[in-house]
Structure 1
Amino acid sequence: MLLYPSSSKASTHQYCQYFVIVTVQPPRRDFTGTSIAVHEGKELQLCVEIVDTTCLS
């Protein structure tokens, strides 16, 4: 699954990958400070948006 841009810095690439893994798994604490209470499907989509924005910025 290509959830992050292929051309990225090592740190950014790893950060995005970490973001995806954390969101896919049942999050114990939300790192953004907001409670995530959605199904895995929507939760994954939300993660993709966050990762995409984080990588580009």
Structure 2
Amino acid sequence: MGKSGKEKNTKNKSKHSKLIKRKKSKLKADKEARAERLKNLQKALKASKENPE
């Protein structure tokens, strides 16, 4: 039989989930941005090697 009365720890869990989701999305965005910068850098290096002027 379950407990009666106030639910335990639901506010903290929701806050924690929200913060973790925010953190993961920020890390994902940073990772994608870094990959994009590296891709652009590789293109620039390749172009400079093809045209050494």
Q: TM-score normalised to the size of structure 1?
A: 0.33
Question: Which has the larger Rg?
Answer: 2
Q: Quick one: higher RCO (CA 8 Å, sep 6+), 1 or 2? A: 1
User: TM-score scaled to structure 2, two decimals?
Assistant: 0.35
More helix per residue: 1 or 2? 2
